[in-house]
Structures are given as structure tokens and as C-alpha cells.
Amino acid sequence: MRKRAAEAEAKFKRLYDAIENGFADVFDPLLKERATELQSIQDHGRADTERARERSIGRGRAKSLHSLETFASQATAGACELSPAGIAPPTGARWPCASR
């Protein structure tokens, strides 16, 4: 996805270089068509990359939410003799849910 956007950007650069160096006519209709096509490819590549990034962030949030739900259900079920970090409470002390 990123690769497609980067390739389109590189082609744009070469196209602009050709125009600047006089190898391509800026008024050529095929040149305009090609520039529009490259812009579309670049936009689609960037949009695909952004969607993939958002999905990966969403999955991370879902995993975190699942971890929190699991801990909460274990804590309310009285399964918290150990702290969330796996450390026992100090001698004589109890975690808040240990009184249940």
C-alpha cells in the first residue's frame, strides 16, 4: 500500500523533471491524463495505508479491552489473591477484593 503511493510519488517526480527539462509538453492531454491517473493511485495507496493503520490500532484496543474485562471478571469472582502484576500483598495486608 505504502509502496504503491511511494511509486506513484516517484513517477510524479520524474514527470515534473521531464516537464522542467523540456522533455514533456505541459499542455499535452496525455500528460494531464497520466498525472490524474498517478494522483489517483497515490491517493488510493495513502487511503489504504490509513485504513490498515486504523484497523491495527482498533485491534490493539480490542485486545486491551479484553484484558481489562478478563481481569475485572477474575477480580469480582474473588480470584485476586495476587495483584494485577502478579505480586502478593504485603504481609498482613489484603487486596480490596480479598474481603469478598
Report DSSP letters for 4-17, one per residue. HHHHHHHHHHHHHH
Structural domain range at position 49: 1-64
Say if 97 falls within a structural domain: no
Say if 11 falls within a structural domain: yes
Question: How many whole angstroms separate alpha carbon 16 and alpha carbon 24?
Answer: 9
Say if 8 falls within a structural domain: yes
Mean residue pLDDT across the chain: 74
Domain count of the fold of the chain = 1
- Structure confidence at residue 84 (pLDDT): 52
Using DSSP, state whether 99 is helix, strand or coil: helix
Say if 79 falls within a structural domain: no
- pLDDT at residue 17 tops 60: yes
Say if 4 falls within a structural domain: yes
- pLDDT at residue 85 tops 80: no
The pTM (predicted TM-score) of the whole model is 0.48
- Structure confidence at residue 100 (pLDDT): 46
Give pLDDT tens digits for 32-72: 898 899 888 888 888 888 888 888 776 666 666 667 777 77
